[in-house]
Amino acid sequence: MVILQSAEQEMRNSRPSGSTAHDETVSVVVPCYNEERFITKALEKLAGQYDLEQYEIIIVDGLSKDRTRDVIDEFKLLHSDLSITLIDNPARNIPTALNLGINAARGNIIARMDAHAVPSPGYIRRCVEVLRKGDIGVVGMPCRVQPGASTVVAHAVASAVSHPFGIGDAKYRLREGGPLQEPVDTVAFACFRKCLWEELGGFNEELHTNEDYDFNYRARQAGSKVILDRSGHCDYFARTSLATLGDQYARYGGWKAQMIRLHPRSIKLRHLVAPLYVLSIFLLGLLGVIWWPAWLILGTGMAFYFLLAFVFGFQTARHQPKSLQVWLLMPWVFLTIHVAWGTSFLVGLLRRPS
C-alpha cells in the first residue's frame, strides 16, 4: 500500500465560507489499457464537465498495445484548450494507475473515472458541489450499465449485472430509484478530495480489484460519509461474451476475498450468497456419493435457481430488443456470474490470486 503524508489534512472539509464550487480545482484520473474502442467517447463526455482553467484530465495508460495512445493524441490535437496528460503505468494495474495519476494531479478534488465509463452532463460539477457539504468524503452517482455491443449476449450481460439477482444490493448498480442522496457503503467513479487520498495512504496497490471498495471502506472508518447522488449517472459498457464476463467476475471474487481478509468487518450479505451457493453444489455433489438424497436436494435446488433466473430474467428481457433470445440466455449469464464469483471467492480465501 502506498503510504503518503498529507500537508493538507487540516484543510479537509474546511474551505473558506465565502468560496464557491468554482474555487475548486479538479483532476480527472482515468486508468486505461487497450481502450481504443471506448476512450474517445469517454473523453468527449469528460471534456465539458468543468471550467477549463480549473480542470485537467490525466490518463494513466498501462502501455497499451492497440491504438489507444494514438487516439488520445488525436483527441488532444482537436481539444488543445483542454489540459490532457498521459502517464505510463508499467505495473498495468488499476490501483497503481490511480496512485500515479493522483500523485501527479494539480487539482484539490479528484474524479476517478474509467475508459469504459461515460458520465452524464454535469456529473463532476455536481459531485464537487456535494463534496462541499459537512463530513462527506466520497461522492458518486449510479452506474447505468449499457451493452458493450449490439449482440444478444451483450444485452443479456448488461441486464444481468444491473439486477439484484445478478449482483446483490449494491445500490449504485441497481436501476430502480431511491432518494436523491443517501449514504452507502461504496460507489463507483467517485469524486473525493486529494487530501483524503493522502490521509488514507492512497489506494491499496496490493488489491488489483476492489481497490475502490477498500478505499471507500477506509474513508468511512475514518469518519467520512460515502454518498450516492442520483441527480445524474455514469454509463458503463459491460462485457460482451460469457467468457469475458466469467473472467471479470472470477477476478472480482478472488480480489474481494483478499479485501475481506484485510477488513473482515467490511463483509456484506451480498458477498456471501454466491460463495455459499457454489459451496452447497460442491458439498451436496460429494455427499450424494454416499447418501443419494443429497443429489435429489441438489437437483431441486438447481431447478429452483433456474426458475428464479427465468423469472428475474423476464423482468429485464421484456424491455430489450430480441427479448425472447435475451430471456432464454439470462439464466446462463446469471449462472456465469455466480459460479465465477463464488468459486474465485472461496479459492481466494485460501490463497492469494495471481
* pLDDT at residue 237, rounded to an integer: 87
- 11 strand-pairing partners: none
CATH class for the region spanning 9-141+187-240: alpha beta
Residues 127-138 have pLDDT tens digits of: 999 998 878 999
pLDDT at 56 over 90: yes
pTM score, whole prediction: 0.87
State the average pLDDT over residues 150-171: 90
Taking only the tens place, the pLDDT of each residue in 58-93 is: 999 999 999 999 999 999 999 999 999 999 999 999
Confidence of residue 353 (pLDDT cuts 50, 70, 90): low
* Domain positions in the chain: 9-141+187-240, 252-350
Give the pLDDT score at 18: 40
Task: For residue 8, name the pLDDT band (cuts at 50, 70, 90).
Answer: very low
What are the residue ranges of helices labelled H in the chain?
39-47, 68-78, 94-104, 123-131, 152-160, 164-167, 194-200, 211-221, 242-262, 269-287, 293-317, 323-350
Query: Edge-to-edge strands of the sheet including 83-88?
Result: 83-88, 55-61, 26-32, 109-112, 191-193, 136-140, 225-229, 181-183
